[in-house]
Amino acid sequence: MDSTADNLLMFKVRDGDVGKFSFLFERHHRALFNFFLRLTGNRDLSEDLVQEVFFRMLKYRHTFRADSQFSAWMYQVARNAYVDHFRKHKHEAVLSDGEEDDSTSEPSSPELTPEERLGKRQEACLVRQALARLSVDKREVLILSRYQGLKYEEIANILGCEVGTVKGRVFRAIRDLSEIFFQLSREGSGMSAAG
């Protein structure tokens, strides 16, 4: 994704051309939705949070500085929205365990056989389960680096910590996840195909 274009668009919005904000929505809403979905497992909540984030960015557009990067800023706002939400709704379940509606996933390539498609679904289900068992801190950095494509320096800025901390956390996250996959495969050896 061309970050220069994003920044330019945001500068225009900041300086009054509010209409151009829709371009930024089109470019980023899907990634943001998936960020929240991978973090929380809840589709409705994720959609709500996406709305919240875009409107906070619009409302506080004047805080977008000349040296800001749009996507890093967006994830910062996203994180704040997410934390605010969970402060208010502490008692709600944080992550549902992988009951995705796979009809909304990207359509798999038509070359796949039904068995292959089933295998993919199972694998995705497993990954979701594994992620759900990670701690929030680790899951968060993992999603930001692995899926949202943010550099470690950008993540460090967003979290307000050192780059070294981020790298360490990612390392431990992958390590834990590997262990979780191993455990899941042992648990699932007696299970049927449904994930």
Q: Is 91 in the site for another protein (CB under 8 A)?
A: no
Q: What is the dihedral of CA 76, 153, 169, 161, to 10 degrees?
A: -70
DSSP letter, residue 108: P
- Exposure string for 71-87, b = 16+ CB within 10 A, e = fewer: bbbbbbbbbebbeebee
CB atoms within 10 A of CB 114: 7
Q: Site residues for another protein, window 19-78 (CB under 8 A)?
A: 19, 21-22, 25, 29-30, 33-34, 37-38, 43, 46-47, 50-52, 54-56, 58-60, 62-63, 76
Q: Is 18 in the site for another protein (CB under 8 A)?
A: yes
Scanning 4-12, 99-107, 109-117, 186-194 for contacts with another protein by CB under 8 A, the matching segment is: 99-107
Q: How far is the CB of 67 from another protein (least distance, A)?
A: 15
Give burial (CB, 10 Å; 0-12/13-18/19+) of 90. Answer: exposed
Sign of the alpha-carbon dihedral angle for 153, 94, 39, 190 = positive
Binding site for another protein (CB under 8 A): 18-19, 21-22, 25, 29-30, 33-34, 37-38, 43, 46-47, 50-52, 54-56, 58-60, 62-63, 76, 79-80, 83-84, 86-88, 90, 100, 104-106, 120, 123-124, 127-128, 131, 136-137, 140, 142, 145-147, 151-152, 158-161, 164, 166-168, 170-171, 174-175, 177-178, 181
